[in-house]
Amino acid sequence: MNAAVPHRSRTTRLLGLLPRRFVTTRIGTAERTLYLSFDDGPDPGFTPPILDLLKAHGATASFFLIGDRIDQHPAVVERIVAEGHTLGNHSWDHPFMSDLPLAGQLDQIARTDAALARYDGHATHPFRPPCGVLPARLLAHFARIGRGIAFWSYDSHDYERLPADILFERMQADPPGVGDVVLMHDDSADSVDLLARLLPQWREQGYTVRAMPRERG
């Protein structure tokens, strides 16, 4: 169970070869900074304790929200924005985008952008495809309209629903580094417990933990 796992996948490495105006995986920075992101919220049970941890450690993060959950938990979304975090688009109902025609993919994104706009006033938002499934036609469409995809470079594997001590131990063997965009989720107690271990360690190591910088999209 404690065997090494790939925190940096072949897919993210290949996407990292593309210009950042098309796909962001990691972020070049002269500062000792990690970029933290959470997928699959908002969750009324787990997003608030994550926000508590971020606030206690002076950290900010990007929250890639699922559209049909946004208005179910408005107070959670309002708190994310009020505390200086950024909102991202994680589709309307978390499909495999490759199962949809391009028109369906774009509808998923547009509906979620509209829901997010009611909270932060931005017409469009950084988009992250569910499960990292990024169809070539969608990537090409975004490239044509000058909109980037917000991916990640370092996968915490917290979605595996393993105890936090195991996830933490695995990450020690291959930790994130300067400029990495760290993928986590705000929908389980495992993620909350893992974050509670990571934030103090990162601070001791001299890292600043920030949301992904907002660019186009």
Active site residues: 39, 185
The answer to whether 53 and 209 have CB atoms below 8 angstroms apart is: no
